[in-house]
A and B are shown apart, each in its own frame.
Chain A
Amino acid sequence: AAGVIQSPRHLIKEKRETATLKCYPIPRHDTVYWYQQGPGQDPQFLISFYEKMQSDKGSIPDRFSAQQFSDYHSELNMSSLELGDSALYFCASSVGTGVTEAFFGQGTRLTVV
């Protein structure tokens, strides 16, 4: 069965650089969620999209932005990267918001040096 695809799997950036993370949801899933997981931490909700519109916003820094495209894939754009942005970034997808289970991708490990 198709799963949530995230790319790249690993990314190394320097401070103040920008990064773009991509998420391809499970086919026919119209909702995408982004989470950030620091070392030894639980995943923290960043932002979500339903039918290409922002659905909810969590603890996402103003330096980050995201969008969902017409094919339902989503991109998380991160600018002015800081050392503290180093984390695992997960994308999850579902059908609707709060209707079905959310399935997670394998994540992108971002390291800021």
Chain B
Amino acid sequence: ETGVTQSPTHLIKTRGQQVTLRCSSQSGHNTVSWYQQALGQGPQFIFQYYREEENGRGNFPPRFSGLQFPNYSSELNVNALELDDSALYLCASSLPGLAEETQYFGPGTRLLVL
């Protein structure tokens, strides 16, 4: 176990709805990264937060947004859900200044968009 938790574990939404996914990082980690993993693919980087500020973003549209709170927990929000948003969403935390090194992943939230 990495100490990174995510909620909920599973979620079913319909197209056009909005969803919020949550992540609590490992103690002492103030950097959180979010990834989308489609079935049979590797994780794709969505964005990263460091000390409550966005610190890098992948090739995802603005309807994917995030927040990081003072306790370093984080949220991923997706608006206007599309069928292709169905995926496993993973968050990962890392030590300050070492985000490119070892990342500690949570178990993920599996989102199904109907």
Whether chain B is bound by chain A comes out as no
A residues bordering B, Cβ < 8 Å?
none
